[in-house]
């Protein structure tokens, strides 16, 4: 179990690109990133769904399947965070196509991405809940030291912490609520 640290406040020069920011987990991510002092650029298919306004929030209207919109969102970002996922319990390949555009743009923009020298973390999750944040998460591997649920707010905090914590760089941890 990893106690949750306070979201970093010293990184006010960081611009975070967020995909999936209008979803249930993404809203927590955007709000916590802004509270931590980050500038946030968020792609939104329907900007009217964005229910937060902030001087450090920039909204790019578009869709993850549009490479131009993805490029505009990533432009100038020091980190890219995504909470994209299906909104229903049915197969949705739009997320896969959208991630392909994100990765494609990063590859075009930074030669190092193709050389696999970019830092990345793929955070795997069990069932997401709207429960209150616990302030800590359990970190494990698929099927090892994991639980069945995690609050969306705790997921968002863990994702933001990864911007400054190298413990899970080039890894795919599973996070869940504490036992």
Domain count for the chain, please give it.
2
**Does a structural domain hold residue 41?**
yes
Provide the mean pLDDT of the chain: 83
Residues 111 and 175 in one domain: no
SS (H, E, C) 40-96: EEEEECCHHHCCCCCCCEEEEECCCCCHHHHHHHHCCCCEEEECCCCCCCCCCCHHH
Residue 163 sits in the same domain as residue 80: no
pTM to 2 decimal places: 0.79
Name the DSSP class of 116.
T
Residue 16 β-bridge partners: 40, 79
Return the percentage of the chain with pLDDT > 70, whole number. Answer: 75
Q: Which two tokens stand for residue 53?
A: 């306004």
Higher per-residue pLDDT: 30 or 11: 30
Q: Residues near 116 by Cβ (< 8 Å), separated by ≥ 6?
A: none
The answer to whether position 127 is within a domain reads: yes
Domain housing 58: 9-118
Confidence band of 94 (pLDDT split at 50, 70, 90): low
Q: Which two tokens stand for residue 26?
A: 């993404």
Q: What is the mean pLDDT of residues 73-97?
A: 75
Rounded to whole angstroms, the Cα distance separating 151 from 63 reads 26
Same domain flag for 61 and 92: yes
Q: Which of 141, 171, 173, 148 is nearest to 158 (CA)?
A: 173
104 and 151, same domain (yes or no)? no
Residues 105 and 48 in one domain: yes
């Amino acid at each position: 179990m990893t106690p949750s640290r306070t979201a970093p406040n010293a990184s006010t020069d960081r611009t975070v690109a967020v995909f999936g920011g209008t979803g249930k987990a993404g809203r927590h991510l955007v709000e916590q990133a802004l509270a931590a002092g980050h500038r946030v650029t968020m792609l939104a298919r329907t900007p009217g769904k964005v229910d937060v306004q902030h001087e450090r929030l920039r909204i790019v209207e578009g869709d993850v399947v549009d490479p131009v919109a993805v490029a505009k969102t990533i432009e100038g970002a020091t980190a890219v965070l995504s909470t994209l996922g299906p909104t229903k319990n049915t197969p949705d390949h739009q997320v896969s196509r959208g991630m392909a555009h994100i990765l494609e743009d990063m590859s075009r923009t930074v030669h190092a991405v193709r050389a696999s020298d970019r830092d990345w973390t793929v955070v795997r999750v069990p069932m997401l809940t709207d429960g209150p944040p616990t302030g800590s998460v359990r970190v494990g591997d698929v099927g090892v030291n994991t639980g069945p649920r995690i609050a969306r707010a705790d997921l968002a905090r863990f994702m933001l912490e990864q911007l400054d914590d190298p413990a899970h760089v080039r890894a795919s941890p599973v996070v869940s609520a504490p036992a």
